Structure 1
């Protein structure tokens, strides 16, 4: 005898409230990479974050964020506040349609950069809401390939960190359960770069993954020369050896070096990543969900990278990228940065070189009291203007 499940009517929900906040997260000490040593930027002292908290008529909630490491935080907040009323009364399930609606609402300022980074906070909140409502971790909602992801630390290896302190930092990372280490290079004194890499490789031994990041500060000749010099250290990748938008240069360099090339973190749209991938400009693609406009465009980039058989290492924001990296079918890494930890009540687990996908619904995050205290501006949208 066969039985059939009773037919029920699906119900939709509506967005009732969008709360936006601008948070300024102070760093413990000023941070310098190659862009500072070459005079292009000042040391980094804080991270500005745009948070979006979305609530529905049925009581479901979602949390998302975007960020800026230097100028741009107030502009992200202002743009998001202008377009957020477009969400009120909408079905939160229709994430792709809502992304496009918000993009058209701000079309006058473009479809990349600040305009889409403001959308990112909302888009991520909608995905978080959807996964929370399904009572699934975001990785499981999207379809995970793994329950943990190889992770490497970056925050302990900035150029502002003396070598001995950097070695101590790498040791603490390994003891915490982090699987690899990335250090900054791109010093105007290229011999200093070689000495730093040599010291870390000797400290780590031959089997711990080691990456370097030049933060776009080499020209073509320097990148090729230093890249060749670094090949004896068996690096997992060389990151951003050239200007982030020098697609042809990255492609030519990747063809000449044995060490894989990684780039993509500074790009702010799907189309920019599409050009990068089609040019063969990298071995590891490094999209950043808050920068490209959220999870919706990130998934398109991931599908493109998969079709081209690329490895992936999403940039920064491990709290988001852990879930997205877990859904990628090929080799993937997640970047460990403890900077954002004070913003949340939860912590991510590290074990045997990997970061564990939390079993909490959605992103598995809630804002801390400390985060609330760092809020400098906030607004709540409950209805659309007449």
Structure 2
């Protein structure tokens, strides 16, 4: 890197991190996981000319900010924020000895997203333009409920149908481990949901193998789904393909995957109808854009896992929790940001402001300096 690049206005001068922790009103059960609180890692990247880019992610109780600080930030500082892809390469190679996938890749993803924010601000263009996406609204999936067998089916149905009436084209519920309960719940939702609203069931990698999955799906009985999400660990490509083949259900996989080769294998081996991409986990907007374009060449639709403030700029499917002003009981991330996409009739529209069009609220993220 030349001295001119280091001292130019576009040089990265600082990478700041902060955590935000918000308790949930009641524990959530998703697959083998129990969630009692939501912890988020926030990143702000600054350039010499005074621009600031923002990013955040669910930490999943991992030390994300420490990883950014110790393993990633130093490979971004001094580099040219006008070229996020080049900085991404430097961050990946600089930390390669400790991790090209996993938590380090997530940390790279946080900084990469903030760099795209800066680059688009400097270009005075929304990030979706720089990323080659179109300005139109994106179909959005609402995470509507986390049912458990101790919740009456009628209560869950009411919760989901009430939200579906807002116009969401897809609503998602998590899998409850009781097959009889789950089958009855899905059939009740099939009867009560608006015709234009599809139902997604998120298994959260909850089945150990394809045999267990097929047995439980059969126990659900006669049901209809828009798609079945993350039935197995995503590395079990053959098992996911078998579930898709033997059930005839539409299958989507990819949440939390940090290794793009796993996502490509799911598509190449016919294991998914819809590829899920977690923009932060996969390493940021730089690799997510490549995956989006690669899937488009193969006619496979992409749906993004949460972080709608970022994923809306890819032009793919968007996922969100309810954006009610008072928050929702499952994920309070809508309370953490200012700006971002607008939601209307189940569609998300990316902001036209320069950059990503959102900032992190200081009352939740205590950035130093």
TM-score, length-scaled by structure 2: 0.87
Are 1:181 and 2:178 an aligned pair? no
The whole-number CA distance in structure 2 between the counterparts of 1:192 and 1:81 is 46
Structure 1 residue 340, shift from structure 2 partner:
0.6
Cα distance change, pair 79–23 in 1 and its aligned pair in 2 (3 A): same
Write the mapping of 1:105-120 to structure 2, written as runs, cut at 5 A.
Answer: 105-120=94-109
Deviations 1:255-312 (A, max 9, x none): 2232211101131121221222222111110010111111111112212222221111
SS of match in other structure, 2:85: helix
1: CA distance, partners of 2:261 / 2:77: 29
1:115 deviates by 0.9
Equivalent position of 1:23 in the other structure: 20
Q: CA deviation at 1:135?
A: 2.5
Q: What is the CA distance between 1:232 and its match in structure 2?
A: 4.5
| Residue of structure 2 in register with 1:203 after alignment | 192
CA distance in 2: counterparts of 1:248 and 1:370, whole angstroms: 46
Q: Which piece of structure 1 moves more, 261-270 or 132-141?
A: 132-141
Please state whether the residue corresponding to 1:176 is helix, strand or coil.
Answer: coil
RMSD: 2.3
1:286 matched to 2:276: yes
2:236 aligned residue? 246
Structure 1 unaligned regions, length at least 5: 1-10, 36-40, 381-386
* Aligned equivalents of 2:295, 2:221: Cα separation in 1: 25
Deviations, residues 337-363 of structure 1 (Å, cap 9, x unaligned): 243111112364322221222222222
Relative to structure 1, the CA distance from residue 358 to residue 283 in structure 2 (aligned partners, 3 Å threshold; closer, same or farther) is: same
User: Looking at both structures, which has the greater relative contact order when contacts are Cα pairs under 8 Å and sequence separation is at least 6?
Assistant: 1
Distance (Å, rounded) in 1 between the aligned partners of 2:129 and 2:220: 39
Secondary structure at 1:65 match in 2: strand
Q: Give 1:178 shift.
A: 2.4
Does the 8 Å CA contact 2:144/2:163 hold for their aligned counterparts?
Answer: no
Shift of residue 146 of structure 1?
Answer: 4.6
1:49 is matched with which residue?
Answer: 40
Structure 2 regions of 5+ residues with no counterpart? 1-7, 323-331
Residue of structure 2 equivalent to 1:367: 360
Alpha-carbon deviation of 1:316? Answer: 1.6
- Alpha-carbon distance in 2 for matches of 1:259, 1:50: 35
Aligned mates of 2:341, 2:293 — CA distance in 1: 26
Q: Name the CA shift for 1:146/1:164 in 2 (closer, same or farther; >3 Å).
A: farther
Deviation at 1:196, TM superposition (A): 1.1
Equivalent residues in 2 for 1:141-220, closer than 5 Å: 141-159=130-148, 162-187=152-177, 189-218=178-207, 219-220=209-210
1:79 paired residue among 67, 82, 90: 67
Q: TM-score, normalised by structure 1?
A: 0.83
Q: Does 1:340 align with 2:324?
A: no
Larger Rg: 1
Aligned residues: 350
Higher helix share: 1
**Helix, strand or coil: the match of 1:178?**
coil
> Residue in 1 aligned with 2:57?
66
Could you tell me which of 102, 109, 112 is aligned with 2:91? 102
What is the CA–CA distance in structure 1 between the aligned matches of 2:152 and 2:30, rounded to whole Å? 12
Equivalents in 2 of 1:334, 1:12: separation in Å? 34
Deviation at 1:176, TM superposition (A): 3.4
Rounded Cα–Cα distance in structure 1 between residues aligned with 2:97 and 2:308 = 31
Which deviates more from structure 2 when the two are superposed, residues 363-372 or residues 51-60?
Answer: 363-372
Q: Would the aligned equivalents of 1:67 and 1:290 in 2 still touch at CA under 8 Å?
A: no
